[in-house]
């Protein structure tokens, strides 16, 4: 399976889906104008799962809807950020047995929720009558590649989940969305995570044992965050806050179901911990580990009040030894919506609390002499979608260089 299965998926032909040669610029991410910000963030009311996903949206707002015509069931997926829409057939001979909409009233949930994104792959959670179904779909070839069923939990039947796909795309991890669990389902049971092994050649997937990971996250009780290390095939970096004065960063080997080591970060190093919520993510090139903390454990106010005009503290760690490199803070003005920094492709900019920050100006860690070549490259990869770089009116050697740069970045994302 391994590399051969993954390479099989990558070699499939990619139609243009009617996009043509139009160049789609990611300019909304790089400007603070109200109009551009509205375009980038999209319509929050159309997709609650987008507003609560801490790090799976990949700087893109993607909305999905289930459509049924006769016995044909399909998904209509819209990339609101970049103005692209694809239709994916799920079943041609039977209807999708989705839950009646009335059962989702007063839950804040939709029947169809986008819960994970990686390159051209989108993971969509759909509430069905028999189980919760997760459809892993390819945007480039408009196909449903994998369907994974998860049984309902008897104690808290309706939950929002997160899904992360490993860098080698041979694993995906499904676990409760902790923001939703605490905001909309307080006191809900901590569910087991699901580590799933993917076989792309057979379009199959099966659960893999992860008892050690399950126990580690259960102890944290909704005070944890998990992210795949982009520099490896499928290693997980896990952050848990299990006590009032510390947070623990651990490295988990998925294929061994074992923790390699744990490093404790005390409040003297990270004064914002333990916080109400934490989010862990990597810089796109894997050069730094980013921990975002919203609120503090000592805050006596209610969840609703601490999430308005809340201070968010962002810490940067060395990804090899987890030494703290620096930190900065900002104000998140709107509930939990994108409270974590959304980092641009080049790593130069971050969208934090609705504002754009130049990370290179915020801390010495980012400072350094750059060549004109590197500066130009950063501007282009931040401004143009990867699939449209080949359409730029530039000499072939420069296009070849940019294409290779983007390919290297994609391998690390």
| Digit-coded pLDDT (tens) for 391-410 | 788 888 888 888 777 666 55
Higher-pLDDT residue of 250 and 18 is 250
Tens of pLDDT along 85-95?
899 999 888 88
pLDDT at 65 over 90: no
Q: Is 32 helix (H, G, I), strand (E, B) or coil?
A: coil
Last residue of a domain, one of 165, 182, 208: 208
Query: 142 with 30, same domain?
Result: yes
pLDDT at 97 over 50: yes
The answer as to whether 350 is a domain residue is: yes
Last residue of a domain, one of 208, 242, 270: 208
pLDDT cut 70: percent of the chain above it: 73
Mean pLDDT across the chain, nearest whole number? 75
Query: 261 with 198, same domain?
Result: no
Last residue of a domain, one of 331, 348, 366: 366
Positions of E strands within 171-286 = 171-176, 194-199, 204-208, 224-228, 235-243, 246-253, 258-266, 277-282
Rounded CA-CA distance 94/87 in Å is 17
Instruction: Say what the pLDDT of residue 359 is.
Output: 76
Tokens standing for residue 7: 């390479």
Tens of pLDDT along 184-194?
777 778 888 99
Instruction: Please tell me the total count of domains within the chain.
Output: 3
Query: 204 with 227, same domain?
Result: no
Contact 277, 177 (CB under 8 A): no
Classify residue 18 as left (phi > 0), alpha (psi -120 to 50) or beta: left
What residues are paired with 327 via a beta bridge? Answer: 315
Instruction: Say what the pLDDT of residue 87 is.
Output: 92
Confidence band, pLDDT 50/70/90 cuts, at residue 13: very low
Query: 349 with 401, same domain?
Result: no
pTM of the entire structure? 0.78
DSSP class per residue in 294-337? ES-TT--S-HHHHTSSEEEEEEEE-TTT--EEEEEEEEE-STTT
Query: 320 with 404, same domain?
Result: no
The answer as to whether 254 is a domain residue is: yes
Q: Which of 147, 162, 68 is nearest to 114 (CA)?
A: 162
Instruction: Say what the pLDDT of residue 333 is.
Output: 64
The answer as to whether 112 is a domain residue is: yes
The answer as to whether 214 is a domain residue is: no
Instruction: Say what the pLDDT of residue 177 is.
Output: 87
Instruction: Say what the pLDDT of residue 34 is.
Output: 36
Instruction: Say what the pLDDT of residue 368 is.
Output: 58
Query: 204 with 276, same domain?
Result: no
Positions of E strands within 95-178 = 112-118, 121-127, 132-138, 143-150, 161-165, 171-176
Query: 132 with 228, same domain?
Result: no
Instruction: Say what the pLDDT of residue 148 is.
Output: 95
Higher-pLDDT residue of 2 and 272 is 272
DSSP 42: -
Rounded CA-CA distance 142/220 in Å is 38
Q: What is the CA radius of gyration of the chain?
A: 21
Instruction: Say what the pLDDT of residue 52 is.
Output: 73
E strand or H helix at 181, and its extent? helix 178-183
Q: Which of 174, 166, 169, 129 is nearest to 148 (CA)?
A: 174
The answer as to whether 213 is a domain residue is: no
Tens of pLDDT along 316-362?
888 888 888 888 887 766 555 556 777 777 777 777 766 777 777 76
The answer as to whether 215 is a domain residue is: no
Query: 13 with 43, same domain?
Result: yes
Bridging pattern class, strands 324-332 and 342-343 = unpaired
Query: 200 with 61, same domain?
Result: yes
Four-CA torsion 14, 15, 21, 27, nearest 10 degrees: -60
Residues composing the chain = 413
The answer as to whether 333 is a domain residue is: yes
Rounded CA-CA distance 366/383 in Å is 20
Neighbours of 382 (CB within 10 A): 18
Instruction: Say what the pLDDT of residue 23 is.
Output: 31
Higher-pLDDT residue of 3 and 209 is 209
Neighbours of 113 (CB within 10 A): 25
Query: 244 with 362, same domain?
Result: yes
Query: 268 with 323, same domain?
Result: yes
Tokens standing for residue 56: 């799976």
Range of the domain at 405: 369-413
Query: 226 with 202, same domain?
Result: no
Tens of pLDDT along 155-181?
567 888 999 999 999 999 999 888 788
Contact 201, 213 (CB under 8 A): no
Instruction: Say what the pLDDT of residue 294 is.
Output: 79
Tokens standing for residue 222: 């909704």
Four-CA torsion 47, 53, 58, 59, nearest 10 degrees: 60
What residues are paired with 328 via a beta bridge? Answer: 314
């Amino acid at each position: 399976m391994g590399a051969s299965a993954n390479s099989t998926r990558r070699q499939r032909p990619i139609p243009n889906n009617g996009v043509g040669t139009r160049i789609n610029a990611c300019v909304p991410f790089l400007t603070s104008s109200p109009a551009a910000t509205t375009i980038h963030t999209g319509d929050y009311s159309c997709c609650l799962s987008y507003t609560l996903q801490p790090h799976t949206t990949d700087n893109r707002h993607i909305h999905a809807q289930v459509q049924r015509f006769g016995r044909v069931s399909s998904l209509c997926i819209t990339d609101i950020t970049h103005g692209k829409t694809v239709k994916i057939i799920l079943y041609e001979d039977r209807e999708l047995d989705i839950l009646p909409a009335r059962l989702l009233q007063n839950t804040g949930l939709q029947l169809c929720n986008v819960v994970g994104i990686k390159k051209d792959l989108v993971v969509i959670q759909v509430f069905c009558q028999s189980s919760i179904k997760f459809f892993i779909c390819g945007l480039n070839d408009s196909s449903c590649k994998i369907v994974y069923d998860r049984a309902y939990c008897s104690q808290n039947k309706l939950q929002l989940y997160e899904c992360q796909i490993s860098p080698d795309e041979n694993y995906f991890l499904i676990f409760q969305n902790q923001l939703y669990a605490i905001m909309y389902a307080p006191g809900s049971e901590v569910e087991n995570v699901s580590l799933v092994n993917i076989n792309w050649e057979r379009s199959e997937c099966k659960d893999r044992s992860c008892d050690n990971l399950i126990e580690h996250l259960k102890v944290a009780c909704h005070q944890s965050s998990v992210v795949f290390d982009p520099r490896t095939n499928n290693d997980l970096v896990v952050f848990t806050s299990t006590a009032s004065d510390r947070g623990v960063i651990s490295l988990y080997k998925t294929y061994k179901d074992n923790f390699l080591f744990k490093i404790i970060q005390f409040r003297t190093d990270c004064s914002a911990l333990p916080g109400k919520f934490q989010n862990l993510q990597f810089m796109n090139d894997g050069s730094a580990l980013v921990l975002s903390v919203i609120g503090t454990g000592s805050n006596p106010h209610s969840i609703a009040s601490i999430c308005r005009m809340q201070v968010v503290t962002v810490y940067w760690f060395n990804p090899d030894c987890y030494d703290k490199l620096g930190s900065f803070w900002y104000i998140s003005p709107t509930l939990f919506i994108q409270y974590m920094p959304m980092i641009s492709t080049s790593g130069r900019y971050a969208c934090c609390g609705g504002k754009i920050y130049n990370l290179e100006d915020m801390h010495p860690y980012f400072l350094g002499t750059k060549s004109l070549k590197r500066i130009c490259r950063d501007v282009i990869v931040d401004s143009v979608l990867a699939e449209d770089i080949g359409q730029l009116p530039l000499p072939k050697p420069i296009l070849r260089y940019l294409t290779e740069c983007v390919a290297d970045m994609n391998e690390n994302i």
